Amino acid sequence: MGKKCIICGEEATFCIKGTSDYYCQECAEENFADISVLQKVEEEAQRLKEVIKERMKEKQDTDADEENIKEDI
Ligand SMILES: [Zn+2]
């Protein structure tokens, strides 16, 4: 979503885990023999969403226990 391939500028489908290097499907396949080192942008977004959801849930679960939340941050 809004991420562009760093090679051709097309909308990116993949990113390298832990970096902000983004690639479209084509460039990813051209540049990486093994695209399993790459992460789908969608999956990354989905993962982040899950993390946020977990955080929200944790916050609700431990609402009475403010100390835990502060440690988490
Ligand atoms: Zn590209």
User: What pLDDT shows up at residue 53?
Assistant: 94
User: If you average pLDDT over every residue of the chain, what do you get?
Assistant: 84
11 CA distance to ligand 1 middle (Å): 8
pTM (predicted TM-score) = 0.55
* Residue 4 DSSP label: B
| Residues that place a CB less than 5 A from ion ligand 1 | 5, 7-8, 10, 24, 27
8 Å CB contact between 8 and 28: no
20 CA distance to ligand 1 middle (Å): 14
The string of DSSP letters for 41-60 reads HHHHHHHHHHHHHHHHHHHH
Q: If you average pLDDT over residues 15-33, what whole number do you get? A: 89
What are the sequence ranges of the domains in the chain? 1-62
4 CA distance to ligand 1 middle (Å): 8
**pLDDT tens digit sequence for 31-66:** 888 877 788 888 778 888 999 999 999 988 877 666
Residue 69 confidence (pLDDT) above 60: no
Cα separation, 18 vs 37, in Å, equals 11
Question: At 20, phi and psi to the nearest 5?
Answer: -110, 30
Residue 67 confidence (pLDDT) above 80: no
